[in-house]
A and B are shown apart, each in its own frame.
Chain A
């Protein structure tokens, strides 16, 4: 059984935010007005966080692309009163939009703040509407949504592999953010499979995970920037 995970090399990340854009377009994440965004109501399943260290003028800036950590021990799933958020056999943490009652308890329980709420129903202009991804369901008002490691792509990749009568290869299943990254900062694959890049990358001495001390066991690893 695969354990899907991600390794993000912070030395390679240029903060271009192509992953953010690719994610929104892949997953039908609707844009909100500037007023709503200022209120903190924009959704961004993948978000490039800028982190400034030091005092001006001696500052260094690092970028942390931050998807859902897909924790092996996710604090969000235990608190859900209706089992709308779950972790599947391959370690992907998902959300059942049709069941979620919108209590936002999981959003409060997630230390990484990667659960987004639909304060209003999504709105698209006519031109945008034509580009919606038919593989990803559109979320209604009042439910939580989150990064899924593009698991619709996994489904498709599996079907294709089966049709061709072969095993699933590493390059068959890549989420949109990893696919689009111009500097290959984002590696994605099966953490337990020695033939996948992430397997060896996660053993790199530069490796770190966010708030690891909370015991959440995130499956997104970062490679610390070299000084």
Chain B
């Protein structure tokens, strides 16, 4: 860090010093990790080059396993995206004060992960060069088109929802002059934090946080409907819309927890991501592990009780057949581990939630696997059920690159914006403490 920058930083408030430090100071290990992630991402891009050059034959896909890793990752990543926006919007709307230090990191996950999720189905296309036909020859009755519309709208609204609450922080960086003055003058868009501007800002955030909730719900509902609208065993199910939304929020909470643990460690944010945050988010994870069990149980019981031969082939292939390992690992990751850990207070710590969060993310990836692959290889057309699916190195490389590419961009973003919202913390200190006390007093009967 240059001397001039250090002096500028020293003149700022304590919050600003801690939260802006990552923007101007980069550790050696950051570069090492970033280089590693960049290498994996480049490798994945090479794999995609191979796929485009030779054709989708370079994947492990076949007939009847038309969909595989790419579609699984698509559902998984768009699911993770429910981390930010939905959680932060719901917490904002419900005036949950503990949200203040976690909203920014969560919203950033959302925006980046939608991008990485949305490229998955394009990677899956046989003719990516014709992707714009989705606009030129759009057929509204196709659930894929509902998806394009919904995800497009979601990406735009989430980007705005990330950017608008960032304005005051961008103005702080611009005024401090610690980094790229021109860039931040442009990004801060003339925000001066006047009372009029602040009032307008809060009103826009209030409206946005209500708008993004139904959009977020629609996104994963529609993704569930891609499967549910076909007549295939274990796909054609009315529960899929809500089941997917619930699963998406679940994996999203897990992703936030993992990100928070890493950020806290990497940037020394113990004062911002406190034990209480892990406790609260851990409780939320516990609630969703129970919801997950409820939905999954309802889905499988309905299929089993009906006992239709086509359904049963897919059903038993998961419970006891060739997909028993991914199926029961999913149950372990989505239910047993998070339930047993998060039901104990002593485990709702950074360490405990990290373990539960990773288990849930693995479990939720497997859930998508268990939806896509067993049904694909067990078509209703029994005479020809010759299904098998083994992903090729191309698919696995692209999947690895998606994970590394996302992590890399997230790391880079922490070098440009404070990962905890400075102004919201400040506002919490200056106003909310009193406001909440007043609000609670309002709930109570007037004292005589």
Contact = CB atoms under 8 A, between A and B. Distances in A.
Contacts of A107: 63, 66
B137 A142 contact: no
4 interchain residue pairs of minimum CB distance: A102-B126, A142-B126, A119-B57, A40-B62
B263 to A, nearest CB: 37
A49 interface: yes
Contact of B55 (A84, A101, A113, A119): A119
Interface string B50-71: 0000111100011111110000
Interface stretch (A9-17, A73-81, A124-132, A166-174): A73-81
Nearest to A32: B57
B144 A119 contact: no
Interface string B127-155: 11011011011110111110010000000
Nearest to A211: B380
Nearest to B134: A81
Give the secondary structure class of B's interface.
Answer: loop
Given A40-B388, A99-B130, A103-B124, A82 B137 contact: yes
B144 A105 contact: yes
Contacts of B61: 119
Interface of B: 54-57, 61-67, 121, 124-128, 130-131, 133-134, 136-139, 141-145, 148, 226, 229-232, 376, 379-381, 383-384, 386-388
A140 B55 CA distance: 10
A101 B134 contact: yes
21 contacts: A40-B62, A41-B62, A49-B384, A78-B142, A79-B142, A79-B230, A80-B139, A81-B148, A82-B133, A82-B134, A82-B136, A99-B137, A100-B127, A102-B130, A107-B66, A108-B376, A111-B232, A112-B381, A113-B64, A118-B126, A143-B127
A111 B380 contact: yes
Contacts of B376: 108
A117 B66 contact: yes
Contact of A81 (B126, B142, B387): B142
B138 A82 contact: yes
A199 B236 CA distance: 34
A111 B385 CA distance: 12
Contacts of A141: 55-56, 126
Interface of A: 36, 39-41, 49, 51, 64, 75, 78-84, 99-105, 107-109, 111-113, 116-121, 140-144, 211, 214
Contact of A121 (B55, B130, B138): B55
Contacts of A79: 141-144, 229-230
A37 to B, nearest CB: 10
Nearest to B141: A78
Given A40-B386, A112-B381, A117 B137 contact: no
A117 B124 CA distance: 13
Contact of A101 (B57, B63, B133, B229): B133
Nearest to B383: A49
